[in-house]
Amino acid sequence: MTKEIEIEAKNIVTKDEFVHLCSSFQLKKQDFHVQHNHYFDTAHFDLKEKQSALRIREKQHKFVLTLKQPHEVGKLETHQSIDKQTMDHTLATGIIPNGDVANQLRELGVTTNTFTLLGTLTTSRAEIDYKGGTLVFDESSYLSIVDYELEYEGEEEEKVETTFGALLKEFNIPKRDTDNKIARFFKAKAEQS
């Protein structure tokens, strides 16, 4: 099990801005790797109510179950590595395996171990080291939508915000209110219902 505090700044960008950023940072097609995020919640959206998210990330033949929940700074992430058979079982049944994520769900007050698969968001991602943090370039597709996002992750909230703000200013990209991927996924799903 791994627990970590995620401190990041993010901004939705247009396709043209994304292409320009990739070119400016000399990113090539081979720098991008595909990952699939399979999102879950209870039938009554208990996680959404608690501003939390549960996913299985499938990336380069590795499978990680992650619970994200609010924290005083950033998000608290609880990760649990699982094998493909466990992932396939969870995708088919909604039954979360025993372990650290299930324990953390109980601490959060979500007592069921059966969840509903809401859908999958696929991201083509490139990451580079940038000014003491990680700059992330994401092209995500879900529910017939494609969006582009720039993220900056670091260890100190103020430094993350300052560094990311300066980068957006340098590239003349306006700061846009940007929900996280699960929130964008939920919004798109609600609009299509």
Here the contacts of 157-165 (C-beta below 8 Å, separation 24 or greater) are 157/7, 157/73, 157/74, 159/132, 159/133, 160/7, 160/8, 160/9, 160/133, 161/9, 163/130, 163/131, 163/132, 163/133, 164/9, 164/11, 165/9
Neighbours of 65 (CB within 10 A): 24
**What's the structural domain count of the chain?**
1
Res. 1 pLDDT band, cuts 50 70 90:
low
Average per-residue pLDDT for the chain: 93
CATH number where 187 lies: 2.40.320.10
Q: In terms of residue numbers, what domain contains 31?
A: 2-192
pLDDT digits 0-9 by tens, 127-144: 999 999 999 999 999 999
